[in-house]
Amino acid sequence: MGMASNESLIRDLAGGAPSILAAPSGTLLRVGDTRWRRLRPVFSLVAAAVGVWLCVRFCSALEWHAVARDLRHVGIGALLLFLAPVVGNFVHMLGWRALLPAALRPSVWRSFAIFLAAQAGNEIGLGVLGESVKVSELPSAHRPLALRAMVLDNLSALLALGAVMASIALFLGGSHAPHGFALGAVALLAISTAVGVVLAKRGAWSGGTARGIGTAFVAHYLGKLWIVAEFALALALLGQATLRSSAVLGLVSTVASAVGAAIPGQIGVLEAALKGSASSAAVAASTLVSVAVLRRARSVGWVLLGALLFWRLRAQSGTVRVEQA
C-alpha cells in the first residue's frame, strides 16, 4: 500500500467519507464533517502557532547553565530515561492488538513496530495522524475490521485516560492535587464514562468485542499509569524522587497532554505545565525545567525511531507486493 493510499485513508478518517465501522448491531461511528475539513488547516496552523509561542516563552526563560549541570549529573542514566517508554508503549500495543481478530493480528514484534510508527505520527499530527498506520499496514482486504479495531482502541484509551487521571487525583487527595488538574481529571472521567454508556447501549460491547475492549482498557490503564514511574526515574536521576512528586507530575503531564492534543507534540504545553507545577510537586522549578528538556529530547528521539520503523514497514510491504505479483 503506497503513500497515496495512506493519504486516502487519512481523508476517510478525517474527511467527509462515510465510516465503515459498522458494529454488529448497527453503525458504531460515522466519520466526517465537511465543515471540519474546511477548518482543519486553519485550526492546525493556529494550534501549531500556540505551541511555538509557548515553546519560545519557555526557552527564553531557560537557565542553560543549570540545565547543562543537571544533564551532566544524569550522565549515562539518560539512556535509561530514553528506554523507559518501551514498557508503556509495549503494554499499549497489547491493548490495540487484542481488539484485532486473531487471524488478523501481526506478530508481536511487527505489531510493536506498527504501534511505534503510529505513535510517531500522533506526536506530529493532532494526536491522531499516525492512527492510519494501524490500518494501512494490515491486509487491505480486512481494512473494515482493522479500522473498527483502531477506533475501539482509541475509545478504550479515552476511558483508561479518565480512569488514570481520577486514580492519581484520588491517590494525591484533594489537598495535594493541583485543583485545576484534579477538576480536569474528574471532567474527563465523566466524559469517558458517558462514552462507555453510549457504546454499551448501542451494543458495541458484546461477545468477543467486549472482551477485547476490556483487555484494551486494562492495557491502556497500566500503560498510561507507567508515566508515574517515568517521572520517578527522571527525578531519581536528579536526586529528588518521591512517590508523591512523581504522581503529581504524572497527573499534570497527562492532563496537559490531553488538553494540548491539538498542538503537534504538545510542544510548549508540557514544558509550561511541568514548570508551573513546581509548588504542587514540591520540586525545584529548575529541576522540572531540566526534566522537561530531557523528556522533549527523548520525544524527538522516539519520533525519529518511529519514522524509521514506518519506512521499514513500507519497504517490507513493497517487497511482499512484488513477490505476490
Q: Would you state the cell numbers that stand for residue 98, as one nine-digit string?
A: 487484542
Q: In the predicted model, is pLDDT for residue 32 greater than 80?
A: no
Question: What Å distances lie between residue 110 and 116, 167, 291, 316, CA to CA?
Answer: 10, 32, 31, 11
The whole-angstrom separation of Cα 68 and Cα 309 is 31
pLDDT of 189 reads 58
Model pLDDT for residues 147-181, shown as the tens digit of each residue: 889 988 988 898 898 889 888 888 887 545 555 55
Backbone angles phi, psi at 33, to 5 degrees: -155, 120
At 126 the pLDDT is 57
Place of cell 491522531: 128
Q: Domain residues for 274?
A: 3-324
Of 105-119, 160-174, 198-212, 250-264, the least confident: 198-212
Task: Please say if the pLDDT value at position 139 is more than 80.
Answer: yes
Concatenated DSSP letters for 3-69?
A: HHHHHHHHHHHHSSSPP--EETTEE------HHHHHHHHHHHHHHHHHHHHHHHHHHHT--HHHHHH
Task: Check residues 239 and 91 and name the one with the higher pLDDT.
Answer: 91
Question: How many structural domains is the chain composed of?
Answer: 1
Q: pLDDT: is 277 or 48 the higher one?
A: 277
Residues 262-265: contacts with CB under 8 Å, at least 24 apart: 262/43, 262/44, 262/47, 262/126, 262/127, 263/47, 263/48, 263/50, 263/51, 264/47, 264/48, 264/51, 264/123, 264/124, 264/125, 264/126, 265/51, 265/123, 265/124, 265/299, 265/303
Structure-block grid coordinates of residue 236? 531519581
Confidence of residue 322 (pLDDT cuts 50, 70, 90): very low
Is 203 a residue whose pLDDT tops 80? no
Q: What is the mean pLDDT of the chain?
A: 77
pLDDT mean over 137-149: 87
Q: What is the mean pLDDT of residues 65-71?
A: 79
Grid cell in block for residue 255:
492532563
Does the structure show a pLDDT above 50 at 31? no
> Position 258: which residue type?
A
User: What nine digits make up the cell of 214?
Assistant: 476490556
* Alpha-carbon distance values, 16 to 12, 24, 43, 203 (Å): 7, 23, 17, 25
Check residue 40 and give its pLDDT: 62
For the chain, the straight-line distance linking the first and the last C-alpha, in angstroms and rounded, comes to: 13
- 92 band by pLDDT with thresholds 50, 70 and 90: very high
- In one-letter notation, the amino acid at residue 11 is R
pLDDT digits (tens, 9 = 90+) for 300-316: 999 999 999 999 988 88
Q: 3-state DSSP helix/strand/coil percent for the chain, to nearest 5?
A: 80, 0, 20
What distance in Å separates the CA atoms of residue 95 and residue 63, rounded to the nearest whole number?
Answer: 41
Examine the pLDDT at 22 and tell me if it is beyond 50: no
Q: Is 109 a residue whose pLDDT tops 70? A: yes
| pLDDT at residue 61 greater than cutoff 90 | no
| Rounded Cα–Cα distance for residues 195 and 205 (Å) | 12
